Structure 1
Amino acid sequence: MNYRISDCCDLAPAQLCAAMNAAFSDYVIPLKLSETAFRTFQRQRGFSAEHSFVARQGDDIAAFWFSGKPRAEYGSLAYTLSVGTLPDHRRKGLSRQLLDAVTAQQRLSGSKGLQLEVITTNEAAISSYEAMGFYRHRTLRVLKLSSEPASQSLDYVPHPLDLSRIPTETDGFFDTEPTPQNGRCALQALSPDHHLLGIEVEGELLGWGAVYPDGAVAQIAVHHSVRRKGLGRAILRALWQAAGEDALTFVNVDESAATQNGFLEHVGAQELLQQYEMQLRFS
Structure 2
Amino acid sequence: MEFKTLANIELDELLEVFNLSFSDYIVPFHLTKEILAAKIIAEKLDMNISVGAFEEGKLVSFILQSEKLENGQKIIYNGGTGVVPGSRGKGLVRKMYDFIIPSLKERGADVLLLEVIEGNAAAIRAYENLGFTIIRKLLCFRGNINSGVESSTVTIKSLEDFQWDNLRSFWDIEPSWQGSEYVLNPMPENYQALGAYSDENLVGYIIYNPGARRVLQIAVDKAYRKQGIGSGLFTAIADGQPVAINNVDDVSKETDVFLDKKIGLQNWLSQFEMTRSI
Q: How would you bin the TM-score normalised by the shorter chain? A: over 0.9
Query: Counterpart in 2 of 1:207?
Result: 204
| Aligned residue runs from structure 1 range 103-252, under 5 A | 103-162=101-160, 164-168=161-165, 170-188=167-185, 191-213=188-210, 214-240=212-238, 244=239, 246-252=241-247
- Residue 32 of structure 1 is aligned with which of 30, 33, 38? 30
Which deviates further from its counterpart, 147-156 or 112-121?
147-156
Question: 1:17-59: per-residue Cα shift (whole Å, max 9, x none)?
Answer: 1111111123365432111100111112221111100011122
CA distance in 2, matches of 1:221, 1:158: 13
Contact 1:138 1:254 in 2 (8 A): yes
What residue identity is the alignment partner of 2:247?
N
CA distance in 2, matches of 1:201, 1:168: 19
Helix, strand or coil at the partner of 1:49: coil
Query: Counterpart in 2 of 1:271?
Result: 267
Q: Let me know the Cα RMSD of the aligned residues.
A: 1.9
What residue identity is the alignment partner of 1:193?
N
Query: Counterpart in 2 of 1:51?
Result: 49
Which deviates further from its counterpart, 73-82 or 90-99?
73-82
- Residue 72 of structure 1 is aligned with which of 70, 73, 83? 70
Query: Counterpart in 2 of 1:87?
Result: 85
Contact 2:7 2:47 in 1 (8 A): yes
Deviation at 1:150, TM superposition (A): 2.8
Which deviates further from its counterpart, 33-42 or 10-19?
10-19
* Closer/same/farther in 2, CA of residues 29 and 116 from structure 1, 3 Å limit: closer
- Residue 15 of structure 1 is aligned with which of 5, 13, 16? 13
4+ aligned runs moved over 6 Å, structure 1: none
Q: What runs of 5+ residues in structure 2 fail to find an aligned partner?
A: none
Which deviates further from its counterpart, 26-35 or 269-278?
26-35
* Closer/same/farther in 2, CA of residues 266 and 179 from structure 1, 3 Å limit: same
Q: What runs of 5+ residues in structure 1 fail to find an aligned partner?
A: none
**Percent identity, aligned pairs only?**
25
Contact 1:43 1:190 in 2 (8 A): no
TM-score by length of 2: 0.92
TM-score by length of 1: 0.91
What residue identity is the alignment partner of 2:116?
V
Helix, strand or coil at the partner of 1:205: strand
Q: How many residues are treated as equivalent by the alignment?
A: 276
